[in-house]
Structure formats: structure tokens, C-alpha cells
Amino acid sequence: MKRPILIHPDPRLKKVCAPLGDLSDELRVLADDMLETMYDAPGIGLAAPQIGVLDRLIVMDCVKGENETPRPLVMFNPEIVASSDVMNVYEEGCLSIPEEYAEVKRPEAVDVRWIDRDGNEQTETFDGLWATCVQHEIDHLNGKLFIDYLGPMKRQMITRRMQKLKREQAKARA
Ligand code: NI
């Protein structure tokens, strides 16, 4: 089932999410809903707080191109265990900050440990777009958005545009 995506600014996007205990069918349904919501948007990553659930859960799939096999990843309690010294700059966007893009500098590669959909612990090194995406999504679990890496002027400008967008959306619904 598709879930509505929260738009910045929203206090739920600024919260530090709680670690998850044992996996349950309910959590697997939540992860599947998040993947459906992400693919539909369309996006390459989604974190639970973006649908108003303050759990440490992210989903992503950075495979591009119609002829390539999708690789949906579900990560419970994801953790960055090592980061490269080499940095990389990517133009980032966010489903909670629609139509806004900005360059963000992050480590080029990261080792991530997480619990997968079957409850197994996984560790993998990500680089390129996958590295940027996983760091962006884990940031969401700590209440951090990509615009927090920008200067205050630019951040305020984007936030004002989002406030305007939310007013317009509210009016359209009324
Ligand atoms: Ni995002």
C-alpha cells in the first residue's frame, strides 16, 4: 500500500528515530509499503520518518535503466561502520523536498551494516550513487536533511518554497 510522503518542514523529519527490536510481519509490511511508495514517486531511496514512522528503517534501489534488474534493498537499523577519506560531490534531491536539488559533499564510499528483510545481518561496501543514497537515507533517521549541508541562506530559501508548496497543497485539498 502506498503511503503519503511528508513534505519539509515537518517536525517528524527532524526527529532521531529509535532502533528496532525483533522483526515482525508488521515491519515487513511497512518496508514493502515504503518500497512501493518509493518506486511510485519515483525515487531511489526512502526513510521511514518520511512517511511519519519514527523507526530506523530505510529502503533503496539505485539501479537505473529499464533493462537492468532492480535491486530493492530493505535495511533495518542501518549503520555506517566505515567511511572513505575520499569525498564525492553529487547533486541530491529528496522526496520530502520536491523539485529542489543541490550539490552535497560526502564520503565516496561507505561500509554499511544492517538487518535485512529476513532478519539476517548484512555488511556491504557502497560507492558512487549507492553511497550517496545510503548516507542521505541514514541521515533521515537522525533528523537530518540534505539541505542541512547547505548555507543558511539557501536552506531558508528552499524551506520557504516548501512552505508555499504545502499551503498550496492544503488549499487544493480544501
Ligand atoms: Ni531524502
The pTM of the full predicted model, rounded to 2 decimals, is 0.96
Cα 118 to ligand 1 centroid, rounded to whole Å: 25
Q: Which domain holds residue 72?
A: 11-173
Residue 95 DSSP symbol: T
Cα distances (angstroms) measured from residue 21 to each of 18, 56, 142: 9, 10, 18
Q: Considering the domain boundaries, does residue 94 fall inside one? A: yes
| 57 contacts 20 by C-beta, under 8 angstroms | yes
CA distances to 10, 31, 43, 70, 118 from 97, rounded to whole Å, are: 11, 21, 12, 24, 31
Question: Looking at the DSSP assignment, which residues form a beta bridge with residue 57?
Answer: 76
The total of structural domains in the chain comes to 1
Residue 29 belongs to a domain: yes
Single out the residue of 13, 57, 64 nearest to residue 42, CA to CA: 64
Q: Is residue 6 part of a domain?
A: no
* pLDDT of the chain, 174 residues: tens digit per residue: 999 999 999 999 999 999 999 999 999 999 999 999 999 999 999 999 999 999 999 999 999 888 899 999 999 999 999 999 999 999 999 999 999 999 999 999 999 999 999 999 999 999 999 999 999 999 999 999 999 999 999 999 999 999 999 999 999 988
Answer yes or no: is 140 a known binding residue. Answer: yes
Of 92, 100, 108, 137, which residue is the catalytic one?
137
- Tell me, what CATH number does 48's domain have? 3.90.45.10
CA distance linking residue 61 with residue 169, whole number of Å = 28
What is the CA(95)–ligand 1 centre distance, in A? Answer: 6
